[in-house]
Amino acid sequence: MDAAVLEKVNIWLNGNYDAKTKAEVLDLQKNNPDELADSFYRNLEFGTGGLRGCMGVGTNRVNKYTIGMATQGFANYLKKTYGSASIKVVVGHDSRNNSRFFAETTAHVFAANGIQVFLFEALRPTPELSFAIRHLGCNGGVVCTASHNPKEYNGYKAYWNDGGQLVPPHDKNVITEVEAITSVDEVKWSGGEANITIIGKEMDNAYLNMVKGLSVYPDVIEKQKDLKIVYTPIHGTGITLVPEVLKRFGFTNVTIVEEQATPDGNFPTVGYPNPEESETMSIGLQKAKALDADILLGTDPDADRVGIGVKNHKGEWVLMNGNQTAVLAFAYMMEARKAKGIAQANDMVVTTIVTTEMINEVAKQNKVGCHNVLTGFKWIAEKIKELEGKENYVIGGEESFGLMIGDQIRDKDAVSAVALMCEMAAYEKDKGRTLFDKMIDLYMQYGFYYENLISITKKGMNGQKEIAAMMEDYRSNPPKQINGADVVTLLDYQLQKGTNLQTGETWPIALPKSNVLQFITADGSKISARPSGTEPKIKFYFSVHTTLATKDAFDDTQVVLENRIKGIIQSMGLQ
């Protein structure tokens, strides 16, 4: 075994670790040396969003000790930043195995450092934590979740005083403090229990009242209150608030998918608790078909992502992708606010560089400012903060099934998204239409934009190196043609530089550095390559578009666009 790995193993066997942990290390050493090596070959990286990884013993796993050391580092940074001032944080968690234990561990370490902690009484959606930070005037927060990752994973998301995840300079500064904690002996594990306050129903009520205030057409809901809604929390936290928020909006005909209603970190009915996956939504789809429902909605374990299913123009049930969901929501908020006379001259929306360009077109035609930021809702939150008092934020979102409506939260929020999606469905039903009918109308008005995403997984010790090598090859040897079309523009967000590959002209990109490459072809296709920040994957985003003249041309036009993306994937050797 590698000497460095063995040294770490011996520290865990001989140091101040509990007996159960030491027994698990010994068992791996005896029965699974490969797993032992992977568990200790590096320290689990505290990235700009926090920790995420498989649970288990070792420095490269999520466990009591990696969580505790991360919290000690975050506590040290909060104390350096705020000095002798009273520091307050909120701590929450999702339905994953060990999440409550990790949240309590986090709370106790903060409290032992003299920090006042508001700990949710039980599992709650991540967006409620973001809301609570702002509502209680806290300096930061942590939620223990791995979002939509498989059941083996857990994680730790760190937030700042605006309710958004960490951005510069705080992200790098917290990382520095976390990396400075080199031993579990440096962690204050206990002794501050009096600093912990349990929160629950009162915060729920404040949050739900905020979400209710986002409704644009309560009068339409009253007319369509029996809209047939099917909802699945996919064994996650959505069950705590989504049924209640739909009730408060006025919907009376909500069916919960019982097979997936109970919070369960083993996610027994799905392989991957992600509403982006058709298999994950399949039970809900069956229920929606059986009931002849109007809309199906599903939220991931921490209820920050939402997937929706509707009937298409042929009466067949289909799942909308994240770009379509975002376009529907953005268009609704812009158009409805204008129709109700509540739009403001300085209204603005925020999207990300890998999300459909259709949002930019919708905003342009509605004369609403549209800002494009890096992937991740922390950048949307940062843009709101940057423009506070100058521009009026309405909605933000990205292709990964995330929406953030209104500025009283600063992270993606599936609870409010479910409510607004149902309001949108009610609004269209009141006109004798479906959300899919609306989608086709939007394609005719703004252009038919079509997107796809593929992820290539590279696990283990060599996975990161392989992904880095792929990115470097694309960066130094960009393709001259993709699917028969010349590549005219290369946007390199790591180098913060755009290049016209035909003329050699370059220009600066005014966004923070990020390891993303985009290729734009002569026919308007856009291909983005980006290593995931939370999973051992490299993601490729494909976007193509054309015009849609009539509703009758929808199917044939979609096939043309699908084939164009297939050609792009094939020509890049990504199949």
Return the DSSP state at 511: S
**Nearest residue to 346 (alpha-carbon basis) of 317, 313, 368, 320:** 368
Distance CA 50, CA 232 (A): 28
Residue carrying the six token digits 């799942």: 319
Structure tokens at 554: 């929808």
> By three-state DSSP, how is residue 405 classified?
strand
Backbone angles phi, psi at 464, to 5 degrees: -65, -40
**In whole angstroms, how far apart are CA 21 and each of 68, 100, 265, 274, 288?**
15, 18, 21, 31, 45
Return the DSSP state at 187: S
- Where are the extended beta strands (E) located within 374-457? 392-398, 402-405, 448-457
From 39, 99, 147, 215, active-site residue: 147
One DSSP character per residue, 121-163 reads SS---HHHHHHHHHHTT-SEEEEE--TTS-TTEEEEEEEETTS
Query: Which residues partner with 457 through β-bridges?
Result: 537
For residue 94, the surrounding DSSP H or E stretch is none
Structure tokens at 394: 């309405």
Return the DSSP state at 26: H
> By three-state DSSP, how is residue 410 classified?
coil
528 catalytically annotated:
no
Active centre residues (catalytic): 147
